[in-house]
A and B are shown apart, each in its own frame.
Chain A
Amino acid sequence: MADVTLSNAEGKSLSAQQQRISAVGIFRLTDRVFHNVTFVAALFVLILLGAIILSLIVGAWPAIAKFGVGFLYGERWSVNKEIFGALSPIYGTLMTSFIAMLIAVPIGLGIAIFLTELCPAALRRPIGIAIELLAGIPSIIYGIWGFFTLTPFFGQTLLTAALILAIMVLPFVTAISRDVFSTVPAVLKEAAYGLGCTTWEVAKNVVVPYTRVGVVGGVMLGLGRALGETMAVTFVIGNSHTIAASLLSPATTISATIANEFQESDGIYRSALLELGLLLFVITFFVLAAARIMLMRIERKAGA
């Protein structure tokens, strides 16, 4: 506050009391400005979010009005007959993400525990950096890689898409788990070791319980990425509006459908695609909300 000059209009110096009042006044003013600026910034995000939801609903309205709830469980996606049901993309989205998490979470936790508890110090940094690099690779690269290395073995199928997603979310789960695992106070672990615990017992009974909130956060972040991932999935999933019993059959996801078909869509077709987008929004919202509730439950239980 060096630029605050404490003098009145006539240039006479003021009494100490007056000086203090005017200084406080200026501080109050700058604080209020600061408060308002940050508030507007926060408000902007909310307005933006609202605008996105609103424009999705407006765009999707013709399809919502025409197909109603049937859109959610209709399996048929016929562009030329203008019959649209979202069940197969919804199924594909949830199933690929679920399998991806099933694979990525145990492996990610394993890597994180190895890095924090067992890894020789010399290896810790290289492995850690490798994982962070993995998180930074653009999704299209994963798509191309999966197309050339995984599809020859698994074909363009739901399973291939799930495997690609597992690899993509692995660094998120790992990096966040590693960071939270390293916050466990050494005292706690040493005490457990002192009682004769094995490394497995320390990990299971001390490290993971102490950090579960952070771990769940990492898992949810990964799940968020898996649900919305588009390019990598489009490359390998086969883009077929079908629900098959086998994981080794082509499928589609909400985001892949939109990416493939939006460009040439119009009328009710475009509206149906926008409704798909809205559904993805809602699904992601519910997943994150469920994660929050789960976290609150865990915290309450831990507190009791």
Chain B
Amino acid sequence: MLFRSLASAAIVVASVVGASAADISGAGATFPFPLYAKWAEAYKKDTGNGLNYQAIGSGGGIKAILAKTVTFGASDIPQTLENQAKSGLIQWPMVMGGIVAVVNIDGVKSGDIVIDGATLANIYLGNIKSWDDAAIKKLNPDAKLPSAPITVVHRADGSGTTFNFTNYLDKVSPDWHDKVGVSQSPEWPAGVGAKGNDGVAGTVGQTKGAIGYVEYAYAKQQKLTYTDMINQDGKKVEPTVPAFQSAAANAKWSEATGYYEVLTNEPGAASWPLTAATFILMYKEPVDKAASAEALKFFDWAFASGDKMAEDLDYIPMPAAVVAMIKQTWAGQIKTK
């Protein structure tokens, strides 16, 4: 009896120690967090190894990997090859997805309104202040838009979602290019700030007349009203997996040095204009080689068996050819032995 309880206690201790020793640590982007959380759960079930991912924003993820407090950093802001080389990091894209504009207007449902880049830029510049503004009405002659003030919601923290969002506005609006530009934490001309994709989603859901931008999974999970958009070809598109895919198909990963690729405002009649890839950053010569090897095992597993889960959450998995390239990059550049 005593022996048995001792033995079971030993097993409990061993499994606890085992689990914590193998936990992979990462931090960064909130954009892919719903997917990474789901992958982590399935990976734990498959292999018994856990993943500890802190969704602190892309800016925070880059800081965390530079400070070496995590094994991998995650970011939606692609780093140029020189930047990667400077800090001994290597970068690869993990998954792609869509950013949507979400609104909270009484009586307006998803699909009821459409918006174009120039109008979106003017709203975020503070030039368009009311929902019944002529520019919005012109795009939506049939929608019932109230004469209510627009509350602009943006990120308060440094964000890769913001980087891609401002990158798009910068491409489509000369005004935005002159006054604000592309940044992970720009000087916002208008609006209120919220922390993380979830913070923006929560604030928009809570504020009448609000508009914000979030990764599509957040809009879906929180049942927010998203807008359709006019893309580069002048076509109206809905935020759907095929629309994200159409934009993602334009990515030329094989030509992108250091996998530097931004997927906003891509051509194609069906392309969603606010598509983005999210990246992983790791050291080429990590201090803790075992931990890095474990992390790579997880990413390898995710590429092999995570596609279905990604699609369930409306993310776009990386194409097989790109995955093969990424694996070559790992083998050639990351020293885990």
Contact = CB atoms under 8 A, between A and B. Distances in A.
Nearest to A266: B63
Contacts of A155: 151, 192, 207
A113 to B, nearest CB: 37
Nearest to B151: A155
B57 A80 contact: no
A250 interface: yes
Contacts of A17: none
Given A76-B187, A79-B185, A156-B203, A264 B60 contact: yes
A152 B186 contact: no
Interface string B115-156: 000000000000000000000000000000000000100001
A156 B212 CA distance: 14
Interface in A251-304: 252, 260-261, 263-266
A238 B206 CA distance: 13
B206 A80 contact: no
B63 A264 contact: yes
Interface in A139-154: 147-148, 151-152
A230 to B, nearest CB: 12
A91 B84 CA distance: 40
A77 interface: yes
Contacts of B58: 264
Contacts of B192: 155-156, 238-240, 250
A261 B157 contact: yes
Interface in B24-75: 56-60, 62-63, 66
A239 B206 contact: no
B239 interface: no
A250 B188 CA distance: 12
A263 B203 CA distance: 21
A44 B59 CA distance: 37
Nearest to B62: A264
B172 interface: no
B158 interface: yes
A234 B187 contact: no
Contacts of B237: none
A152 B60 CA distance: 30
A151 B208 CA distance: 10
B110 interface: no
B157 A79 contact: no
Contact of B193 (A148, A152, A238, A264): A238
A78 interface: yes
A237 to B, nearest CB: 8
A241 B185 CA distance: 12
A12 interface: no
Identify the interface centre among B66, B151, B185: most chain A CB within 10 Å of its CB: B185
A304 B57 CA distance: 61
B124 to A, nearest CB: 13
Contacts of A266: 63, 66
A42 B225 CA distance: 58
A78 B187 contact: yes
Contact of A240 (B57, B188, B203): B188
B327 interface: no
A152 B195 contact: no
B208 A152 contact: yes
B267 interface: no
B268 interface: no
A151 B206 contact: yes
A147 B186 CA distance: 25
B56 A263 contact: yes
A252 B156 CA distance: 10
B191 interface: yes
Contacts of A241: 187-188
B183 interface: yes
Interface string A113-154: 000000000000000000000000000000000011001100
Interface string A9-41: 000000000000000000000000000000000
A265 B156 CA distance: 12
Contact of A234 (B56, B60, B185, B195): B195
B60 A263 contact: yes
A239 B155 CA distance: 9
B206 A152 contact: yes
Contacts of B59: 263-264
B194 interface: yes
A239 B153 CA distance: 10
Nearest to A239: B193
A155 to B, nearest CB: 6
Residue from the set B63, B181, B208 with the largest chain A CB neighbour count within 10 Å? B63
A264 B207 contact: no
A185 to B, nearest CB: 51
A156 B184 CA distance: 22
A78 B185 CA distance: 8
A156 B157 contact: no
Contacts of B187: 76-81, 241
Contacts of A148: 206
Interface of A: 76-81, 147-148, 151-152, 155-156, 234, 238-241, 250, 252, 260-261, 263-266
7 contacts: A79-B183, A151-B206, A239-B193, A261-B185, A263-B60, A264-B56, A266-B66
Q: Give the 10 A-B residue pairs with the shortest CB-CB distance, closest first.
A: A264-B59, A239-B193, A238-B192, A264-B158, A80-B183, A239-B156, A263-B60, A78-B187, A250-B192, A260-B156
